C-alpha cells in the first residue's frame, strides 16, 4: 500500500496554460456565434490571431526579447480573439489587422509588454477602430433567418478580402445595427420600449442570436470561475451594478428604460464581465479594489449605453476604470497583520 503525505506540491500554473484555458472558455460563445451568424467570425478570429502573433513577434524582436519564449504565452492570441469578438464579424480584413496590430504594438509593447500595460489592449484596439472607422464598425451581421439576404461562406470571404458583394445584394440587406443601437435610435424616435422589443430582431432576453452568444460567454465565464482562473468579485460586482442601475431606471420609467436582463445579454456585457474586466494585468489585485473597479465599470457602461453616443459602453468603461487601477490599488491595500491600518 502506498500512502501520500502532505505537503503536496501542485504544479504551478504557467501564463501559457492559463491563457490557453481562457481561450478554451471562449469556445462555447464562439460556437453559438457561428451557429447564429455564420462562419465569418472564424475568419476574423483567424486573421486577428495571425496579426497578433506576427505583431508580437516583430515587437519582441525590436525590443531584443526572446521571441519564442513570449510568443508561446498565448497572451497575444487572447488579445486578438477578444478584439475579433468585439467588432463586426463581417469586417473588411484591414479593419481587423489595423485594430489588432495597434492593440499589440502600441497598447501592449510600447508600455513594456505583458504585465506592464495599463490598458486592456483589446479594448484599446476597439476604441481606436470605433473612433477611426465608425461606419465599418456598425455593419453587424443579421442573425440567420432575419436578413433580407444571406451570404454563403465564400461570398463572406469575398467581401472581407476584396470588398465585393454578389450582385443584387446590398450591405444593408445582410447587416443591421446591434440590438442595443437599434433600441437607442428607436427610443429617440419616441417609440416605447415595448413597441421596439416587438421587432423581429429581438428575442426572449435581448437581441435574437446575440443573446445566445452572450449566454455562451457566460457559460465560459462560469468555467473560468470553477477553474479558479478568475474570482467572483469582478463579474458579480460588474453585473450586479449593471442590474441594479438598469433596474432603478426601469422601475422608474419602463417605457423608456429597458429591463436589466436586456443589458446583461446585449452588447459586450458578458464578454466584458468574465473575460475583459478580469484581465489580471489591467484590474486591481486587491479584493476590495476589484469590487470598486467592477462597480465603476458597471455604472459607466450603463451611463454610456444610455446617455452616450456610442452603441456600447463596455470598452470605454473598461478603459476609464483601467486608468484608475493604480489609485484603487493604492487605497485598498490590506492592513499588514499586527499593524494599525494606515492610509498611504
Q: Is 128 in the site for other proteins (CB under 8 A)?
A: yes
Q: Which stretch binds other proteins (CB under 8 A): 16-24, 127-135, 186-194, 249-257?
A: 127-135
State in angstroms the smallest separation of the CB of 319 from other proteins: 12
- Which residue lies nearer to other proteins by CB, 292 or 317? 317
Return the residue matching grid coordinates 526572446. 66
Contact window for other proteins (CB under 8 A) among 132-140, 142-150, 152-160, 266-274: 132-140
Nearer to other proteins by Cβ, of 24 and 171: the residue is: 171
- Which residue in 61, 63, 144, 194 binds other proteins (CB under 8 A)? 63
Name the residue nearer to other proteins (CB basis): 105 or 149.
105
Q: Which of 131, 171, 327, 330 binds other proteins (CB under 8 A)?
A: 131
C-alpha to C-alpha distance for 294 and 233, rounded to whole angstroms: 8
End-to-end CA distance of the chain: 56
Q: Which residues inside 102-121 make contact with other proteins, applying CB under 8 A?
A: 106, 110
How far is residue 169 from each of residues 37, 166, 177, 188, 259, measured CA to CA in Å? 17, 6, 17, 29, 35
Sort 2 into a burial class: Cβ within 10 Å, 0-12 / 13-18 / 19+.
exposed
Contacting residue, 65, 158, 186, 288, with other proteins by CB under 8 A: 65
Instruction: Kindly state the number of chain residues that form the binding site for other proteins, as judged by CB under 8 A.
Output: 11
Q: Are 269 and 314 in contact (CB under 8 A)?
A: yes
Specify the residue, 63 or 194, whose C-beta has the smaller distance to other proteins: 63
For 214-252, b/e burial (b = at least 16 CB within 10 A) is: bbbbbbbbebbbeeebbeebbbebbbebbbebbeebbee
Amino acid at each position: 500500500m502506498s500512502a501520500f503525505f502532505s505537503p503536496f506540491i501542485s504544479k504551478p500554473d504557467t501564463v501559457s496554460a492559463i491563457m490557453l484555458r481562457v481561450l478554451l472558455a471562449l469556445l462555447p460563445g464562439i460556437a453559438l456565434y457561428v451557429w447564429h451568424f455564420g462562419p465569418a467570425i472564424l475568419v476574423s478570429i483567424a486573421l486577428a490571431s495571425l496579426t497578433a502573433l506576427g505583431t508580437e513577434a516583430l515587437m519582441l524582436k525590436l525590443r531584443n526579447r526572446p521571441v519564442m519564449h513570449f510568443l508561446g504565452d498565448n497572451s497575444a492570441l487572447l488579445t486578438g480573439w477578444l478584439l475579433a469578438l468585439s467588432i463586426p464579424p463581417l469586417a473588411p480584413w484591414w479593419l481587423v489587422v489595423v485594430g489588432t496590430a495597434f492593440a499589440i504594438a502600441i497598447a501592449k509593447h510600447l508600455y513594456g509588454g505583458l504585465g506592464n500595460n495599463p490598458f486592456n489592449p483589446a479594448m484599446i484596439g476597439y476604441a481606436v477602430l470605433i473612433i477611426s472607422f465608425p461606419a465599418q464598425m456598425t455593419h453587424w451581421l443579421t442573425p440567420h433567418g432575419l436578413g433580407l439576404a444571406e451570404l454563403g461562406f465564400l461570398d463572406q470571404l469575398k467581401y472581407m478580402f476584396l470588398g465585393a458583394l454578389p450582385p443584387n445584394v446590398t450591405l444593408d440587406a445582410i447587416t443591421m445595427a446591434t440590438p442595443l443601437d437599434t433600441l437607442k435610435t428607436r427610443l429617440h424616435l419616441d417609440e416605447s420600449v415595448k413597441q421596439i422589443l416587438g421587432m423581429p430582431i429581438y428575442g426572449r432576453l435581448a437581441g435574437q442570436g446575440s443573446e445566445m452568444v452572450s449566454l455562451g460567454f457566460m457559460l465560459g465565464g462560469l468555467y473560468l470561475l470553477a477553474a479558479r482562473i478568475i474570482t467572483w468579485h469582478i463579474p458579480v460586482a460588474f453585473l450586479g451594478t449593471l442590474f441594479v442601475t438598469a433596474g432603478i431606471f426601469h422601475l422608474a420609467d419602463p417605457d423608456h428604460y429597458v429591463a436589466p436582463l436586456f443589458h446583461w445579454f446585449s452588447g459586450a456585457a458578458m464578454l466584458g464581465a468574465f473575460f475583459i474586466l478580469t484581465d489580471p494585468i489591467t484590474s486591481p489585485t486587491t479584493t476590495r479594489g476589484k469590487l470598486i473597479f467592477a462597480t465603476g465599470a458597471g455604472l459607466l457602461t450603463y451611463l454610456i449605453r444610455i446617455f452616450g453616443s456610442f452603441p456600447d459602453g463596455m470598452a470605454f468603461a473598461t478603459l476609464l476604470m483601467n486608468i484608475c487601477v493604480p489609485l484603487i490599488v493604492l487605497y485598498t491595500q490590506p492592513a499588514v497583520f499586527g499593524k494599525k491600518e494606515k492610509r498611504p
